[in-house]
Amino acid sequence: MDELLSVADLETRFRTPEGEVAAVAGVSFAIDPGESLGVVGESGSGKSQVFLSIMGLLAKNGRCSGQVRFRGEDILGLPAARLNALRGSRMSMIFQDPMTSLNPYLTVSRQLTEVVVEHLGLSRDQARARALEALERVGLPDPAARIDLYPHAFSGGMRQRVMIAMAILCQPELLIADEPTTALDVTIQAQILDLMRVLKRESNTATVIITHDLGVVAGLCDQVMVMYAGRLVETGSVREIFYQPRHPYTRGLLRAMPRLDDIQDGLLDTIPGQPPNLQALPPGCAYQERCPQVYPRCRSERPELRILGPRRGVACHLELGP
Amino acid sequence: MAARIMIAFAARRCLSALPTLLIVITLAFFMMRLAPGGPFDQERALPPEIERNVLAAYNLDQPLWRQYLDYLADLTRGDFGPSFKYRDFTVAELIANGFPASLQIGGLAMLCAIVFGVGLGTVAALHQNSPLDYTVMTFAMTGIAVPNFVMAPLLTLLFGVYLSLLPVAGWGDGAWANKLLPVIALALPQVAYIARLTRGSMIEVLNSNYIRTARAKGLREGLVVTRHAVKGALLPVVSYLGPATAAVATGSVVIETIFDIPGTGRYFVEGALNRDYPLVMGVVVFYAAMIIALNLAVDLLYGLMDPKLRRP
Ligand SMILES: Nc1ncnc2c1ncn2[C@@H]1O[C@H](COP(=O)(O)OP(=O)(O)OP(=O)(O)O)[C@@H](O)[C@H]1O
Ligand code: SF4
Ligand SMILES: [Mg+2]
């Protein structure tokens, strides 16, 4: 078993005043060392919660069950004290919103050095040198002059670079980037994606890129996982997902993707309709209301993820017939 | 650089405090005179010409606006005038005489309010929705809802009368046993309020994105709270310290009277009952100036804690 991370039957539920919400339901997947996985889906499909569950960072009202193994060791639901040996050093996470994800009351140098002081036991001076080196690597201009500033002196793009520097300080085996570019403007987005690509090439770190933009996945990932309403609806290699999509939702996402060669009509087909309310899921397939190919079986029987190959799966009744 | 900005800020705030002070003085001056009765009513009815002489001696025969302007002129020279009731003392002497006791009671009450308020609020936030949390919050609601003129006699009854543990009143030359009940009575509402404030802002900070980042870094929960959460969570408490001082100052007037403590607050009450205009005015001006100064100190402290204000 040389998988870096393997997840089986992950379920994440939130208690809310209106009842329980299953934000993630029965998700299974695996990541090999050095591999790059893209996780795609619309807002609210449970992408973030899968990885927050794995990192032990769920909100207070959240509970998760299932099995998560990191290098063979079961880590799901470990107490924070045990997880802390892994978090920030062997697996780290970059968040969606760089403007609020850094502590406004501590200098950037403090926020970086504390990671290596905690995990590697470096001295203050060594930690500072390490932090400067990481800031250099992520392309922060003039790090020596900026490292002692507070985050509010940084733009969104610079803050995201700081977040990335923080995540790679201990050379993690797994780096999870939760929509690292969504909150940034387009030119900065491209720069950050370039940076992610360079980091991927230069290190043996496995990466997870969470995004709702299939275009991001195309340039960065080996494997793709498509999520809908808390479930995995299709997995495959980037080539398979782009050239032989099997799930109507994946096809919808692909049609909604802006492309340079899309010159026929210049119009994008966004998927009509809204994702379903997780608290009132219909029986059968969660995508039925929006699916162009829906047929009676879809309304009564929920399609399980069918394994088509070692890293290939789809959850749809279509090819099975009635 | 930063120090220069701070000093300029302090100077600007002092200047802008002057109109506030003037309004306080003006309101207090005329409200005092609106109250029925005069300073010499309680004594035996004086023969008319003697009364006229007494009034003339204290300038009370002048028109009100004249008295007001004279009072302001005296104030600018730092002269609070003589007391009508304690004729051998100036108002400044009486304030200086009473202030040490008031400062001890008030200062200790503020200290308790901060230490216990922040402590209880943090504990409650860290155990949100546990029995511990509910206990602290019930205590806080009670502390806020029960006014100190009700709390003080209750405390006296319990500890002074039934349990006979502590003296019911008096200063005892500043003995600890005598200070305990007044300090508790004065501090309770503030402990309660600060505990609630701390709990609320601590919970908000603990749910914030940057705390999630701190946890994602694998820091121990103790460090997450002390290094990452406390600073942000305490900012609302710091900005409440100004109003808290004002509340403690006004509360001390009641508490000093109930516990018979020879402080500035008790002079204020006696002065008001006796229509001792200069004494009342003196205490009002003194407390107003002190509260304004403390508010300024609090703002400077806030500026030191919030990096956005420190480095423009
Ligand atoms: N603390 C919470 N309490 C209740 N429900 C929650 C909570 N956190 C998340 N959810 C629900 O879980 C679902 C999945 O959320 P998640 O954050 O994983 O979405 P996402 O796919 O990452 O979307 P986005 O692209 O907007 O980040 C959402 O419907 C959300 O309402
Ligand atoms: S199961 Fe049916 S409704 Fe669901 S995606 Fe497949 S065809 Fe569409
Ligand atoms: Mg998300």
B62-70 contacts, C-beta under 8 A, 24 or more apart: B64/B30, B64/B33, B68/B26, B68/B29, B68/B30
Amino acid at B79: D
Question: What integer is the mean pLDDT of B139-165?
Answer: 85
Q: Which residue, judged by its Cα, is nearest atom 11 of ligand 1?
A: A23
Report d(CA A10, CA B296) in Å as an integer.
Answer: 55
Question: What integer is the mean pLDDT of A18-46?
Answer: 93
The single residue listed with the structure tokens 């502390």 is B143
Cβ-defined contact of B311 to A150 (cutoff 8 Å): yes
Strands of the sheet containing A5-16, edge to edge, are A19-31, A5-16, A62-70, A73-74
Higher pLDDT residue, A306 or B176? A306
DSSP three-state, residue A1: coil
B6-9 contacts, C-beta under 8 A, 24 or more apart: B6/B300, B6/B303, B9/B299, B9/B300, B9/B303
> Where does the pLDDT of residue A187 fall: very low under 50, low under 70, confident under 90, or very high at 90 and above?
confident
| Average model confidence (pLDDT) across chain B | 87
Please indicate whether residue A233, judged by its CB atom, sits closer than 6 Å to ligand 2: no
Per-residue confidence (pLDDT) for residue B225, from 0 to 100: 94
Cβ-defined contact of B217 to A92 (cutoff 8 Å): yes
Å from CA of A227 to ligand 3 middle: 12
CB A154, CB A108: distance < 8 Å: yes
The kind and range of the H/E element at A308 are strand A306-309
Amino acid at A127: A
CB B252, CB B263: distance < 8 Å: yes
Cβ-defined contact of B210 to A101 (cutoff 8 Å): yes
Name the packing angle between helices B91-126 and B176-206 (round to 10°). Answer: 40
Cβ-defined contact of B213 to A163 (cutoff 8 Å): yes
Question: What integer is the mean pLDDT of A114-135?
Answer: 94
pLDDT tens-place string over residues B226-242: 999 999 999 999 999 98
Query: Which structure tokens are listed for B6?
Result: 């701070």
Å from CA of B280 to ligand 1 middle: 61
Å from CA of A50 to ligand 1 middle: 10
Per-residue confidence (pLDDT) for residue A268, from 0 to 100: 61
Report which of B230, A309, A312, A308 is spatially closest to residue A320, judged by C-alpha positions.
A308
Provide the ipTM: 0.91
Cβ-defined contact of B217 to A88 (cutoff 8 Å): yes
Per-residue confidence (pLDDT) for residue A316, from 0 to 100: 94
Count of pairs with CB atoms under 8 A, one residue in A, one in B: 84
Per-residue confidence (pLDDT) for residue B218, from 0 to 100: 94
- B286: number of CA atoms within 13 Å, CB side? 25
Tell me the ligand closest to A300's alpha carbon: 2
Above 80 in pLDDT, residue A322?
A: no
Name the packing angle between helices B64-76 and B2-34 (round to 10°). Answer: 150
Architecture of the structural domain at B91-310: Orthogonal Bundle (1.10)
The DSSP-derived string for A247-299 is SHHHHHHHHTS--TT--SS----PPPS-PPPGGGPPSS-TTTTT-TT--HHHH
- Calculate the CA dihedral of residues A259, A260, A262, A263 and round it to 10 degrees: 160
Which residues on chain A are in Cβ contact (under 8 Å) with B228?
Answer: 103, 105-106
Show Cβ contacts of residue B24 under 8 Å, excluding neighbours closer than 6 positions.
Answer: B284, B285, B288
Per-residue confidence (pLDDT) for residue A264, from 0 to 100: 52
Higher pLDDT residue, A22 or B17? A22
> Where does the pLDDT of residue B174 fall: very low under 50, low under 70, confident under 90, or very high at 90 and above?
confident
Cβ-defined contact of A84 to B306 (cutoff 8 Å): no
> Where does the pLDDT of residue B42 fall: very low under 50, low under 70, confident under 90, or very high at 90 and above?
low
Chain B nearest CA to A165, separation (Å): 12
Task: Render the burial of A53-63: b for 16+ CB within 10 Å, e for the rest.
Answer: bbbbbbeeebe
Q: What is the position in ligand 1's atom list of the atom closest to the CA of A46?
A: 18
| Share above pLDDT 90 across residues of chain A, in percent, rounded to a whole number | 70
CB B242, CB B294: distance < 8 Å: yes
Please, is B209 exposed, middle or buried when counting C-beta atoms within 10 Å of its C-beta (0-12, 13-18, 19+)? middle
Q: What is the position in ligand 2's atom list of the atom closest to the CA of A299?
A: 3
pTM score, whole prediction: 0.86
**Smallest Cβ distance to B209: which of A60, A95, A166?**
A95
The β-bridge partners of A5 are: A31, A70
Q: To test ligand 1's pocket by mutation, which of A11, A27, A48, A96 has the most ligand atoms within 8 angstroms of CB?
A: A48
B312 at A interface, C-beta within 8 A: no
Per-residue confidence (pLDDT) for residue B312, from 0 to 100: 43
Q: Which residue, judged by its Cα, is nearest atom 6 of ligand 1?
A: A14
Cβ-defined contact of B219 to A55 (cutoff 8 Å): no
Helix, strand, coil percent content, chain A, rounded in steps of 5: 35, 25, 40
> Where along chain B do its domains lie?
91-310
Å from CA of A185 to ligand 3 middle: 18
Please, is B88 exposed, middle or buried when counting C-beta atoms within 10 Å of its C-beta (0-12, 13-18, 19+)? exposed
Å from CA of B11 to ligand 3 middle: 48
Report d(CA B25, CA B31) in Å as an integer.
Answer: 10
CB A11, CB A65: distance < 8 Å: yes
Q: To test ligand 1's pocket by mutation, which of A10, A18, A21 has the most ligand atoms within 8 angstroms of CB?
A: A21
| For the ranges A232-236, B29-33, B176-180, the one whose mean pLDDT is highest | A232-236
> Where does the pLDDT of residue A77 fall: very low under 50, low under 70, confident under 90, or very high at 90 and above?
confident
Sorted by where each starts, the structural domains of chain A and their CATH numbers stand as 5-90+172-276 (3.40.50.300), 104-166 (no CATH)
Above 60 in pLDDT, residue B67?
A: yes
Query: Which structure tokens are listed for A196?
Result: 């992610």
Which of A55-59, A261-265, A283-287 has the lowest average pLDDT?
A261-265
Report which of B191, B201, B39 is spatially closest to residue B120, judged by C-alpha positions.
B191
Which residues on chain A are in Cβ contact (under 8 Å) with B207?
Answer: 59-60
**Smallest Cβ distance to B216: which of A93, A103, A152?**
A93
Which residues on chain B are in Cβ contact (under 8 Å) with A84?
Answer: 218-220
**Smallest Cβ distance to B307: which of A59, A93, A105?**
A105
Query: Which structure tokens are listed for B1?
Result: 């650089």
Above 60 in pLDDT, residue A267?
A: no
